Structure 1
Amino acid sequence: MSSTTDVKLFFNFRSPYCYIVSKLLPGIFDEFDVNLVWRPLGGRDGRSPPERAKVKIPLVRQDIGDESVILDVGASVGLDRAELAATLEAPERLQQLAEFRLEADSLGIIGVPTFTVGEEIFWGADRVDYLRDHLRELRLSKY
């Protein structure tokens, strides 16, 4: 029995292109015997304050880089505010994000969403078909 192949997804919750890809993921994992490995990049800690100031959602006029907004959104979906606040500041989470950034940099990843399968890199929401083709070439289809 062979081990499941990892498909790493480097993403940022703020990216509309990552949102598009998120809607395509169920089909990929229904069709192929692969393991999704999440690699979050960015987030509120991924940019300098001047860069964060530019990233606002104009439709709702809320800066999702602002911790109070994150806490409000979390509370609105039933998360405990204090627990969420502690998680946001947890040193191990911040260290893990830094490690993911270093991994992305070492692979030459310049944007999100980016998928990697072994040494192959597929950057962009419009590259999902190439990812599917590659997984077929590797004979990872469940069918």
Structure 2
Amino acid sequence: MDSIEFYFDFVSPYAYLASNAIEALADRHGKKLHWLPFRLGVAVVKVMGLKPLLDTPLKGPYARHDASRMAKVLGLPLTDDFSMFDPVPAQQLMYTQPLEQRPVLAKALLRARWAEGRRLGDMDILFDVARKAVGLDEQQFRETIESKQSRSAVNEATRAAVSRGVFGSPTFAAGNELFWGGDRIWLLDQYLAAGAQYVPAAVTPLTPKIDGNETQRT
């Protein structure tokens, strides 16, 4: 197991909030990080029969508040614009880029949407972000967006993600293990540190503290 797969959708603020941490974790463990956008709406709406998270009563307002407070704690800028958009064109751009360019483009797109509040559903804005990130010219951009092949690549990536059991963004895969949510990065970290197995850990985010110090397992 020499890699970690990072499944995400650009519509997910949690994918943006987790992107720096998962990249740092992969680097710390000497793992290649594969950035794999997929159509979250297919997994949530068509496969599970649910509403999108931000459109769900009670859960939607909570998620907005939760993402905002997480951003503050992480020291990351986060827009207050949580409006939905079609992520497929951005995903098409990802799957037509060379592998080494995909992390650069993914981070630029996540930052543009969630740090800067830019509407990636606007093709002029999407092109501007891609041009600055990876030097895409206008002809390449238009050809990619209009290409049936690039759309098929997104659909195939989505089918592969769902077949693997992915249902949320972000999800991380290490070998046969899936970890859903940025709040499970610590568990993935422990799993890799223990040689791809689960063993009792001395300290975790859930370890009770006594007088400001973590209790140690014995």
What are the Cα deviations for residues 81-127 of structure 1, in whole angstroms up to 9, with x where unaligned? 22122223333322221111111211221110100112211011111
TM-score of the superposed pair, with normalisation by structure 2: 0.50
- C-alpha distance in structure 2 between counterparts of 1:123 and 1:59, whole Å: 22
> Which residue of the other structure, out of 14, 25, 28, is the alignment partner of 2:25?
28
- C-alpha distance in structure 2 between counterparts of 1:28 and 1:39, whole Å: 17
Q: Which segments of 5 or more consecutive residues in structure 1 lack a partner in the other structure? A: none
C-alpha contact (below 8 Å) 2:38/2:154 kept by paired residues: yes
Distance of aligned partners of 1:58 and 1:92 in 2 relative to their CA distance in 1, 3 Å threshold? closer
1:27 Cα deviation after fit: 2.0
Distance of aligned partners of 1:22 and 1:61 in 2 relative to their CA distance in 1, 3 Å threshold? closer
> Which residue of the other structure, out of 136, 142, 162, is the alignment partner of 1:105?
162
1:35 Cα deviation after fit: 1.7
**1:42 aligned residue:** 39
Runs of 4+ more than 6 Å apart:
57-61
1:75 Cα deviation after fit: 4.2
The amino acid across from 1:55 in the alignment is: M
Distance of aligned partners of 1:93 and 1:81 in 2 relative to their CA distance in 1, 3 Å threshold? same
Higher relative contact order (CA 8 A, sep 6+): 1
> Which residue of the other structure, out of 160, 175, 178, is the alignment partner of 1:121?
178
Structure-to-structure mapping, 1:8-27, within 5 angstroms: 8-27=5-24
> Which residue of the other structure, out of 127, 138, 147, is the alignment partner of 1:81?
138
- C-alpha distance in structure 2 between counterparts of 1:20 and 1:60, whole Å: 13
C-alpha contact (below 8 Å) 2:23/2:33 kept by paired residues: no
- C-alpha distance in structure 2 between counterparts of 1:61 and 1:25, whole Å: 22
TM-score of the superposed pair, with normalisation by structure 1: 0.72
For this pair of structures, how many residues does the alignment match? 131
CA-based RMSD: 3.2
> Which residue of the other structure, out of 50, 56, 69, is the alignment partner of 2:125?
69
**2:188 aligned residue:** 131
Distance of aligned partners of 1:117 and 1:26 in 2 relative to their CA distance in 1, 3 Å threshold? closer
The amino acid across from 1:27 in the alignment is: A
Larger Rg: 2
- C-alpha distance in structure 2 between counterparts of 1:28 and 1:59, whole Å: 21
> Which residue of the other structure, out of 145, 150, 155, is the alignment partner of 1:93?
150
